[in-house]
Amino acid sequence: MSSGKFLTYIASHLNRDEAEISSIVASCSFKNVKKGSYLLQANEHCNHGFFVETGLLRQYSIDKKGKEHTISFVPEDWFVTDRDSVFFNRPSKYFIQAQEDSQVVLIDQNYEKLMSEKIPNFAEFNNRLLHNHISQLQERIDLLLGATAKERYLHFIKMYPDILLRVPQTMVASYLGITPEGLSRVRKDLALKNFKK
Amino acid sequence: MSSGKFLTYIASHLNRDEAEISSIVASCSFKNVKKGSYLLQANEHCNHGFFVETGLLRQYSIDKKGKEHTISFVPEDWFVTDRDSVFFNRPSKYFIQAQEDSQVVLIDQNYEKLMSEKIPNFAEFNNRLLHNHISQLQERIDLLLGATAKERYLHFIKMYPDILLRVPQTMVASYLGITPEGLSRVRKDLALKNFKK
DNA sequence: ATAGTTTCTTAACATAGATCAATGCACAAC
DNA sequence: GTTGTGCATTGATCTATGTTAAGAAACTAT
């Protein structure tokens, strides 16, 4: 099975040629997952990272009141894991589910160690990933604290126009922290405003 | 000027003795800041980390509508910086202000590099800090998405009982994402409930 | 095509929390 | 002491968003 994208991704971000990386990547496994199936479920220990070659994943939690909260959408060429669970070896609070039929690379828990030992600039690259993650989480907090539902929706459209078309609105709503009905209202409102101008 | 706490903190977390660390720590500078003065302001580039020896700092942003959002409170023995600004060399969106007269250690931007070169297990320690930060941000998102004002307040009390007593309620409110009036009502409500039982 | 899900929209009503405005406390300055 | 200045509380009202319920539309599977 081909690992085109993942190999290319890693090699280019580490400034190495693919040959040099391929032995390490070879230690990762591949998986085809059907829409609706799970790569991780709450209370399990997460011991992989997941790189999406094709398809789309969704990471979400279910709170005490039984409501779903979408943490992230993960399309091709993106990576997802529960860093909290992996790093601290705690049970995960999250589900990672295939939103479309997908092909993913399973990256083993000790991949980071392996890479750090073999590839000098891996640590720096991984550091960049962590900092990106922090930036993105912080921005989301800022939006939740300071922006209305409509503003958050507009921000989402701008950031992830492609995702918008690939998932049901009910899931976008659960990402934004509003109900599907709420989102429907926001959309109607925007449509009216644009029409009137 | 003494750097007691910071030196102890670093040495113990890196499993080194203080003598070994002290030359590096010596390259950091110290600052006494008066209540109300700023260590960082929005639009500046953040090029330090700040370790609080004594006192209390607050990190906050001001949104387009002019509202303050408290990002974090930073008491003795804690560390704060704007990782986004430092790492990506972008102007900061945040203010870091002394909430009480404080004594802080200024940790230079290239401290990480310096430490990584000299102390083998520094990278691992720093990694842990980053992961802790991510966990904490993610938890806050979960709360903002799924918990009511009252629940968030109760969670705050449990996590930071000491902070609660040291800052005006209006700032706690801005941390929780509600108005001071809103917080006042939550507190009244809780007081009544506890009284009735 | 038909029936069965799932998603989306709409409307009426309910509610948490915001806003506005007034009052009462503290505690600091003089 | 008196006079400020910031902080907390309270009440009245307002608004964004949630809830419930129903029907329309889209998509799936037989």
- Does residue B75 reach within 7 angstroms of strand C, measured from its CB? no
Total of domains in chain A: 1
* pTM exceeding the 0.75 threshold for the entire prediction: yes
CA A85 / C1′ C25 distance in Å: 48
Q: pLDDT averaged over chain A?
A: 90
B197: confidence class by pLDDT, cuts 50, 70, 90: very low
B124 touches strand C (CB under 7 A): no
**Pair type for strands B95-98 and B102-108:** unpaired
Residue A3: the pLDDT is: 58
For residue B54, give its domain range: 4-121
| pLDDT above 70 coverage of chain A, percent | 96
Q: What is the mean pLDDT of residues A45-74?
A: 94
pLDDT digits (tens, 9 = 90+) for B73-126: 999 999 999 999 999 999 999 999 999 999 999 998 777 777 888 887 888 899
Mean pLDDT of A114-138: 90
Would the CB atoms of A134 and B130 count as touching at under 8 Å?
A: yes
DSSP state at residue B25: H
pLDDT in tens, B176-185: 999 999 999 9
Q: Which two tokens stand for residue A31?
A: 């998986």
Residue B115 belongs to some domain of the structure: yes
What are the DSSP calls for B68-112, one per residue? EEEEEEEETT-EE--HHHHHHT-B-S-EEEESSSEEEEEEETTHH
Q: Do B130 and A135 touch (CB under 8 A)?
A: no
Helix, strand, or coil (residue B63) = coil
Chain A from 69 to 108: CB within 8 A of any B CB: 69, 71, 83-84, 87-88, 93
Confidence of residue A1 (pLDDT cuts 50, 70, 90): very low
Give the nearest partner residue to A145 out of B87, B137, B177, using CB atoms. Answer: B177
Contacts of A192 (CB under 8 A, 6+ apart): none
Q: Mean pLDDT across the stretch B149-166? A: 95
Q: What's the whole-number average pLDDT of chain B?
A: 90
CATH of residue B71: 2.60.120.10
Is residue B173 one of the residues assigned to a domain?
no
What's the pLDDT score for residue A74?
A: 97
Chain B within 8 Å of A130 (Cβ-Cβ)? Answer: yes
For residue A2, pLDDT beyond 60: no
State the pLDDT at residue A196.
52
pLDDT above 90 for A123: no
pLDDT of residue B114: 79
Instruction: Please give the average per-residue pLDDT across A77-102, as a whole number.
Output: 95
Rg, Å, chain A Cα set: 18
- Whether the CA torsion B15, B16, B22, B24 is positive or negative: it is negative
Q: Is position B43 within any domain?
A: yes
Q: Is residue B153 part of a domain?
A: no
Residue A147 pLDDT exceeds 80: yes
- Report the alpha-carbon distance of residue A100 to residue A111 in Å, rounded: 26
Predicted local distance difference test score (pLDDT) of residue B117: 80
Q: Which helix (H) or strand (E) holds B154?
A: helix B149-159
Picking from B10, B15, B18, B26, the residue whose alpha carbon sits closest to that of residue B129 is: B10
pLDDT score for A194? 66
Q: Does residue A177 belong to any structural domain of this protein?
A: no
**Paired tokens of B139:** 């938890």
Give B2 or A136, the one with higher predicted confidence: A136
Residue A22 lies in a domain: yes
> What average pLDDT does this structure show over B28-38?
90
How many CB atoms are located within 10 Å of the residue A158 CB? Answer: 8
For residues A3 and A24, is the Cβ–Cβ distance under 8 A? Answer: no
Q: Does the residue A59 lie in any domain?
A: yes
Between residues A144 and B120, which one has the greater pLDDT?
A: A144
Nearest to B142 among A61, A133, A135 (CB): A61
A128 neighbourhood in chain B, CB within 8 Å: 87
| pLDDT tier at A167, thresholds 50, 70, 90 | very high
| Residue A176 resides in a domain | no
Q: Tell me the three state secondary structure of residue A8.
A: helix
